[in-house]
A and B are shown apart, each in its own frame.
Chain A
């Protein structure tokens, strides 16, 4: 307890940093994931191919390598953004590939008749997808998407090693001050558990509220 209260400021900064990183990356990953999922089921072969390449490449790239490329590589092209933005880019691109696949498996659970009914009403592909199919698909994969965002929160720990303020990185400051290293890590672990349990609770609630009975 003493380690936590004495270093409350450092922990709090890291905790808020992790939450910010997770929240911004989640939003961007969801957006990208929906977009890529749309590409992957679209009638345009070029877009489908792009979606497939995106998902295959990103799902098979180690996240550390992606961080390495984005944080250390993009500045070589004259793109210099804050480290936070780089970390958000790496995390959200990586997670978007997984979210795309989760959504796609959700699209598979929507009965064929739904798409057919939408089409027979004269809806275009965009309307069918955005008004009829995706809302139902998203509802059926709320659980898996929650798990993906929990994984994102856990993965955000990597950003600490690339000069972003976040929870795991706070161990360095506290360690230098000579506090018990074991307790330092215990409180970091508690911090991560709070975040992941919160995400899990929110998604459980959403799942109960929005689930479609089928």
Chain B
């Protein structure tokens, strides 16, 4: 975010009085366009009666509130289980890919590359439909395989980003390879990769909403149930107004945590001379080499 400042200002001169008034004009025009769009949305909302009593009243019912709350808890449950399984999965296969034994390395590479290449939804549907697994476990299994594989790449990139001297010094002290890995490389890699790891968890949190498509009773599913209820006058827009801020808020919070860890890490003297801090930012399943490049 902050790195953009110098190059962005290289794109234009410091505006003089004329340019400033022109920019102000553009700014006003842009604001007018955005305000117009918002006004249109507002007009449509009011004119289609989205703020009517009938549509909003259901949210006062205890049953509806419990339904939403239950859905939110189910979403968080799927997310929690995914984190619980995906981190060890990632660690295991990262270790596999860094192994000295060729067979282990090949096998791990095959697994990681395969699950990263498959569309997540295809895996979830396969587990759900073909293997007849319950929705929750189908979702968690799919998310674990995919995010675990991406995390394996993140961990591996982290270990490889630790300067060679660290490993050589550790071996020179007579440590064994497991000791070198566990007490020298992994702690430094984790510290450097924490922003990327949290960013990947944001992706996992976002993807728990795929459970909606396999009828897992999560947050979006609860919303759909309320939105399609004729008794409440199909309160679709009100449901979106309730659900979207919660989802986006949760993801923003986690993204913000990743950025905070990154900023803190960059300042920390412990990282100096070690692996460079990874950048935070919700990815789209990109390999970390790509994301951490700049």
Contacts and interface: CB of A to CB of B under 8 A. Distances in A.
A171 B129 contact: yes
Contacts of A181: 129-130
A182 B284 contact: no
Contact of A73 (B8, B236, B247, B282): B236
Contacts of A143: 290
Interface in B160-202: 202
Contacts of B284: 95, 98, 147-148, 151, 155
Interface string B248-284: 1001100100000000000000000000000001111
Interface in B226-250: 227, 236-237, 240, 243-244, 247-248
A154 B208 CA distance: 16
Interface in A152-196: 153-155, 157-158, 161, 168, 171, 175, 181-182, 184-185, 188-189, 192-193, 196
Given A44-B27, A46-B26, A171-B125, A72 B236 contact: yes
Nearest to A119: B13
Interface residues of B, number: 65
Given A46-B31, A192-B118, A112 B7 contact: yes
B244 A61 contact: yes
Interface in B129-172: 129-130
Contacts of B10: 112, 115-116, 119
B106 interface: no
A155 B236 CA distance: 24
A148 B286 CA distance: 7
Given A44-B27, A65-B209, A154-B285, A168 B34 contact: no
Given A61-B248, A128-B12, A45 B27 contact: yes
A68 B240 contact: yes
B23 A43 contact: yes
B30 interface: yes
B70 interface: no
A161 to B, nearest CB: 4
| Contact residues of B: prevailing secondary structure | helix
Interface in A82-128: 95, 98, 101, 104-105, 107-110, 112, 115-116, 119, 125, 128
Given A62-B247, A185-B130, A41 B8 contact: yes
A175 B12 CA distance: 59
B27 A46 contact: yes
Interface of B: 3-4, 6-8, 10-13, 15, 19, 23, 26-28, 30-31, 34, 44, 48, 50, 117-122, 125-126, 129-130, 202, 205-210, 212-213, 220, 223-224, 227, 236-237, 240, 243-244, 247-248, 251-252, 255, 281-287, 290-291, 293-294
A-B pairs with the 10 shortest C-beta distances?
A154-B119, A60-B251, A115-B10, A62-B209, A46-B27, A64-B209, A62-B206, A151-B284, A46-B30, A157-B121
7 contacts: A69-B244, A101-B281, A105-B293, A129-B11, A148-B286, A158-B213, A185-B125
Interface of A: 40-41, 43-47, 50, 56-57, 59-65, 68-69, 72-73, 76-78, 95, 98, 101, 104-105, 107-110, 112, 115-116, 119, 125, 128-129, 133, 143-144, 147-148, 151, 153-155, 157-158, 161, 168, 171, 175, 181-182, 184-185, 188-189, 192-193, 196
